[in-house]
A and B are shown apart, each in its own frame.
Chain A
Amino acid sequence: MRKVILLVSLLLLLSGATLFAQSSGTAQQPVIDSGNTAWLIVATALVMLMTIPGLAFFYGGLVRRKNVLSVLMQCFIITAVVSLQWFIVGYSLAFGSSSGGLAPFIGGLKWAFMNGIGINDPSPYFISQATARVPHLVFALFQCMFAVITPALIIGAFAERMKFGGFLLFTILWATFVYDPVAHWVWSADGWLVKLGALDFAGGTVVHMNSGIAALVAAIVLGKRKDYANHPTPPHNIPFVVLGAALLWFGWFGFNAGSGLAADGLAGSAFLATHIATCAAVVSWVIMDWIFNGKPTVLGAATGAVAGLVAITPASGFVTIGGAIATGLVVSVICWIMVSFVKQKSGYDDALDAFGVHGVGGIWGALATGLFASPVIQSAASGVFYGNGKQILAQLAAIGATLVWSFVVTFILLKITQAVVGIKVTGSEEDIGLDLTQHDEKAYTVIE
């Protein structure tokens, strides 16, 4: 019996890098490891920092003064609302199991309200350490922060013109019908993309491509801002943007290095890959700016950093330092071109480049994972440059599936929201600004 169990576990580990596996069947009982748990608790807090204040200020500084509070409010309220949705149904839908034909596509409601999960239950999910687990609740909390930041990224597309009520309704629907299913496909034990062998360490598909495509759809469905003349409006507070980017970088260490669910060598490797790819991306973007705009800009450096962080996300637990640097250098070139040329020629108003940086950066990251994944990091995961040409096909399947689902369902949800409460503010509300019209608040007093 023992041999069969060991063989099954080995097969599970070797079958094209399943990222997660059920605990039942291993020879040793999993226990809660305090080192891994301590790290994951900290990582959870780091990922929350990415949404507020990180993304809040990154985006907040990019909009005009009259709209900064609307961005801060959207990030803040998403943290609250999506966290609630997560613990009520979201976690169960994303990571739970269901039975029947839909099992590979969506979890059930078995774990709604964290039903059946005791505080000392070990997490059923692990990466490198099968028996030294974190508490199930801590795992759910960690994932909660991912579920929170993903819809927050879409804010960049509809900034400065979305109605608050419509934004709330859309966000709750999107979390339930887009995020939870895609998370299930890529990360749950039954997920069909896992079984296909797609590699995504920390969420290139689930978080960045998902929200990136949704951003593109939102930008098109909502239409342009009233005074958008095919070029960006000057950021009202670039120091905020830099502050936000630095907080994002800091928090991203939790996002990537925490996705190993353990405090060990793999976490260290993911941390290194994350850091060095981002550094390469910063340099790459600054060089692009210097060559094509004549001067290196700090806005470019901050944007390059975010692009690098996005691209390394799926690859962080699979690549060596060389793969990480390559990923970072290339993403800035692609995203720079996207943001400076393609967007302006195409005419859609992705106000804060949510698609241009997160969507496109995420797509490159997924491809880079397929190219550079090295068995030196995780033995079961090899990319094209290490002899596994087929990996790129699995990556393309994951990219394609995520893009199509996100595109179609986001469109439907926007149309539903439009019909029920409306999604765009009026022209004069846009002129006055969202802070006053949606929230009756002014960010900065003029006198006193």
Chain B
Amino acid sequence: MKYIIAIIQPQCLAQVQDELYKAEVNLITVSEVLGHGRQKGTTEVYRGYKEARNLLRKIKLEIAVNEEFVEPTLAAITRGAKTGQTGDGKIFVLDLKECLRIRTEERGSIAIG
């Protein structure tokens, strides 16, 4: 079992969701986050004070998958989120120790879904 965390550009979310559903990955958690990699931030100005290297809005996706879905998920996310420019984001793959479905109390690969 693996836990996939992807940071993507907010405007790519709809496309990424489409690609994931096409790859039959239907379970997802989405959150709004702030951050930056090597992408330069925008400047913001308040009463004469310029704030540079600002944190940028990003979208974080979290998906728990069984082994056979890892590569299709990575491919789907990449298809939806790649623009070729700095700031496209990153995907992290973590080992997932345990998973439990709360409704049925099933555990393991079956619980992932």
Contacts and interface: CB of A to CB of B under 8 A. Distances in A.
B46 A299 contact: yes
B48 A234 contact: no
Interface in B43-94: 44-51
Nearest to B51: A234
A353 interface: yes
Contacts of B46: 232-235, 297, 299
A234 B50 CA distance: 10
A299 B45 CA distance: 9
Contacts of A235: 46
A300 B49 CA distance: 12
Contact of B49 (A231, A294, A295, A303): A231
A353 B47 contact: yes
A339 interface: yes
Contacts of A294: 45
A91 B44 CA distance: 46
A371 to B, nearest CB: 27
B32 to A, nearest CB: 12
A386 interface: no
Nearest to B50: A293
A336 interface: yes
A344 interface: yes
B45 A297 contact: yes
Nearest to A230: B49
A344 B47 CA distance: 11
Nearest to B45: A293
Nearest to A356: B47
Contacts of B45: 289, 293-295, 297
Interface string B18-57: 0000000000000000000000000011111111000000
Interface string A286-320: 00010011110101100100000000000000000
For B44, B46, B48, B49, the residue with the greatest tally of chain A CB atoms inside 10 Å of its CB is B48
A340 interface: yes
Contacts of A336: 48
A47 B79 CA distance: 59
Interface string A161-192: 00000000000000000000000000000000
Contacts of A293: 45, 48, 50
Nearest to B48: A340
A339 B44 CA distance: 16
Nearest to A353: B47
A385 interface: no
Nearest to B54: A234
Contacts of A300: 47
Contacts of A232: 46-49
Contacts of A303: 47
Nearest to B44: A234
A303 B46 CA distance: 11
Contacts of A292: 48
B53 to A, nearest CB: 14
Contacts of B50: 293
A340 B46 CA distance: 9
B68 to A, nearest CB: 35
Given A299-B47, A336-B48, 15 more contacts: A231-B51, A232-B49, A233-B46, A234-B46, A289-B45, A292-B48, A293-B45, A294-B45, A295-B45, A297-B45, A300-B47, A340-B47, A340-B48, A344-B49, A353-B47
Closest 6 A/B residue pairs (Cβ): A340-B48, A231-B49, A293-B45, A232-B46, A232-B47, A232-B49
14 contacts: A231-B49, A233-B46, A289-B45, A293-B48, A293-B50, A295-B45, A299-B47, A303-B47, A336-B48, A339-B48, A340-B48, A344-B48, A344-B49, A353-B47
